[in-house]
């Protein structure tokens, strides 16, 4: 029978034998898979694991600092790279969803490659690939799902890097990854995190991206996610977030007319992201969240809740 403890023991031994005293590079995303992969490798090879955590300027509010801190506390050899300006400059003026994804994918590889080259004599690239990713990329070669959205995940291997690849979680499902992480003592807040797309808030800001829009959406998202946590709803939801719409609408504040932005909140139930249903969040929660957002975030005067299922809608709006 499969147990997390036995998996950890066998895998650590295998990794030691395979890698020896060579150096390994791993891109951390803040997500469950890359974090668990990093802790496993750290157990096997210690500081010969060089983790790179890139801030693309499109993460949630405080995410980069908080998660980097948490990784350091876990004893990982991690370097935080703030490349926000590089990403945001490259995205300037672009409003096409697929082009935004491509730009982010390209800049990520450039930044990651720059950093990887600073680690002398690295021989391996580690990735947090899990079993469903393997299946998805196989079906993606022929299936229609491949063409819907191009995904860019942390750790995509550029051909010119010529590193050997190590993927310790390749045979595991998500729940097994969580159990492995738990058995190695990873914090529940890391293991229970909602999925978050690689291109981050860029695909939740419809239309072109500006620093100001990113800042507005970070505030809105923060109020929503903190609210879900405070109301004990976070763990009942598979994924949640906010979208900044390219729409202004008329409102009133005091006796002044306003003409400001609209945000859509989305919370879904799902098991694998392939299909999803919107969550029937309590009206009282939605009411409080909407009031908080409109009162606290300048520039937003309207909040709507997305009640579309996947299919035919997707989880992200872009
Ligand atoms: P959709 O929007 O296709 O999303 O219903 C399904 C799941 O995938 C996430 N997603 C991404 N994840 N890179 C990622 O790493 C991406 O480019 C990307 N696009 C969507 C989405 O957040 C949801 O969990």
Digit-by-digit pLDDT tens for the chain (318 residues) are 899 999 999 999 999 999 999 999 999 999 999 999 999 999 999 999 999 999 999 999 999 999 999 999 999 999 999 999 999 999 999 999 999 999 999 999 999 999 999 999 999 999 999 998 888 766 544 434 445 677 655 445 565 568 999 999 999 999 999 999 999 999 999 999 999 999 999 999 999 999 999 999 999 999 999 999 999 999 999 999 999 999 999 999 999 999 999 999 999 999 889 999 999 999 999 999 999 999 999 999 999 999 999 999 999 999
Q: Which of 141, 168, 191 is where one domain is finished?
A: 191
Tokens (6 digits) for 151: 């995904």
Q: Domain range spanning residue 39?
A: 4-191
**Contact yes or no for 48/21 (Cβ under 8 A):** yes
Indicate if 36 and 167 belong to the same structural domain.
Answer: yes
User: Would you list the DSSP string of 49-60?
Assistant: EEEEEEE-S-SP
Is the CB of 152 inside a 6 Å radius of any atom of ligand 1? Answer: yes
Q: Is 33 annotated as a binding residue?
A: yes
Q: Do residues 178 and 220 share a domain? A: no
Compute, in angstroms, the gap from residue 170 CA to the centroid of ligand 1.
Answer: 19
Residues 6+ apart with CB under 8 A from 141: none
What's the pTM value of the predicted model, to 2 decimals? 0.92
Tell me: is residue 181 an annotated ligand-binding position. no
Rg (CA), the chain: 20
In whole angstroms, what is the distance from residue 250 CA to residue 302 CA?
Answer: 9
Same domain, 110 and 183: yes
Verify that 84 and 142 share a domain, yes or no. yes
Tokens 């879900």 belong to residue: 228
Expressed in angstroms and rounded, the spacing between residue 238 Cα and the centre of ligand 1 is 13
Are 100 and 248 contained in the same domain? no
Residue-level pLDDT at 155: 46
Contact 79, 52 (CB under 8 A): yes
**Ligand 1 pocket test, candidate residues 27, 129, 315, 317, most atoms within 8 A of CB:** 315
Query: Which of 147, 150, 133 lies closest to 202, judged by CA?
Result: 150
Provide the pLDDT for residue 158. Answer: 61
CB 154 within 8 A of CB 198: yes
Whole-number Å distance, alpha carbon 14 to ligand 1 midpoint, is: 32
**Whether residue 261 sits in one domain with residue 157:** no
* Residues shown for the chain: 318
Q: Report yes or no on 83 lying in a domain.
A: yes
Domain check: are 144 and 267 in the same one? Answer: no
Domain count, the chain: 2
200 C-alpha to center of ligand 1: Å?
Answer: 9
**299 marked ligand binding residue:** no
d(CA 48, CA 91): 34
E-assigned strand segments in the chain = 23-28, 49-55, 78-82, 122-126, 164-166, 239-253, 256-269, 277-278, 300-305
Query: Would you say residue 199 lies in a domain?
Result: no
Regarding the beta carbon of 79 and ligand 1, being less than 6 Å apart is answered no
CB 123 within 8 A of CB 171: no
Going by CA atoms, what residue is nearest to atom 12 of ligand 1? Answer: 197
Q: What CATH number corresponds to the domain at position 174?
A: 3.40.50.620
Are 69 and 150 in a shared domain?
A: yes
Q: How far is the CA of 121 from the centre of ligand 1 (A)?
A: 34
Task: Kindly report the CATH number assigned to the domain that includes residue 241.
Answer: 3.30.300.10
Ligand 1 centroid, distance to 215 Cα (angstroms): 21
Distance (Å) of CA 256 to CA 250, 251, 253, 299: 10, 8, 5, 14
Joined together, the tokens standing for residue 223 give 């109020």
Q: Do 94 and 28 reside in the same domain of the chain?
A: yes
Does a structural domain hold residue 26? yes
| Closest atom, ligand 1, to C-alpha of 150 | 17
Handedness of CA 125, 144, 308, 242 (dihedral sign): positive
Give the end of a domain, one of 191, 213, 246: 191
Q: Is 198 in the pocket of ligand 1 (CB under 6 A)?
A: yes
105 is in an annotated binding site: no
Q: Is 287 in the pocket of ligand 1 (CB under 6 A)?
A: no
Substitution candidate for ligand 1 out of 197, 199, 204, 243 with most atoms within 8 A of CB? 197
Residues 155 and 182 grouped into a single domain: yes
User: Which of 191, 219, 237 is the C-terminal boundary of a domain?
Assistant: 191
**CA nearest ligand 1 atom 18, residue:** 197
């Amino acid at each position: 029978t499969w147990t997390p403890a036995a998996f950890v023991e066998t895998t650590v031994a295998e990794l030691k034998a395979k890698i020896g005293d060579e150096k390994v590079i791993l891109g951390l995303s803040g997500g469950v898979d890359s974090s668990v992969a990093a802790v496993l490798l750290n157990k096997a090879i210690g500081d010969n694991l060089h983790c790179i955590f890139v801030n693309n300027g499109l993460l949630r509010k405080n995410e980069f600092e908080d998660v980097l801190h948490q990784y350091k506390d876990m004893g990982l050899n991690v370097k935080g790279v703030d490349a926000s300006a590089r990403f945001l400059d490259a995205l300037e003026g672009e409003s096409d969803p697929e082009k935004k994804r491509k730009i982010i994918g390209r800049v990520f590889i450039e930044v990651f490659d720059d950093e990887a080259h600073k680690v002398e004599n690295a021989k391996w690239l580690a990735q947090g690939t899990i079993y469903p990713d393997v299946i998805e990329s196989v079906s993606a070669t022929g299936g229609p799902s491949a063409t819907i959205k191009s995904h860019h995940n942390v750790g995509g291997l550029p051909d010119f890097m010529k590193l050997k690849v190590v993927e310790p979680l390749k045979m595991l499902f998500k729940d097994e990854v969580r159990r492995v992480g738990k058995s190695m003592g990873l914090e529940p807040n890391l293991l229970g995190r909602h999925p978050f797309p690689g291109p981050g808030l860029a695909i939740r800001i419809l239309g072109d991206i500006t620093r100001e829009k990113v800042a507005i959406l970070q505030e809105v998202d923060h109020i929503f996610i903190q609210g879900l946590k405070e109301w004990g709803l976070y763990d009942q939801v598979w994924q949640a977030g906010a979208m900044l719409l390219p729409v202004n609408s008329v409102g009133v504040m005091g006796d002044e007319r306003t003409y400001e932005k609209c945000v859509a909140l989305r919370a879904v139930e799902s098991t694998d992201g392939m299909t999803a249903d919107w969550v029937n969040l309590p009206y009282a929660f939605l009411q409080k969240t909407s009031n908080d957002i409109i009162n606290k975030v300048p520039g937003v005067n309207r909040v709507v809740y997305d009640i579309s299922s996947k299919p035919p809608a997707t989880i992200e709006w872009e």
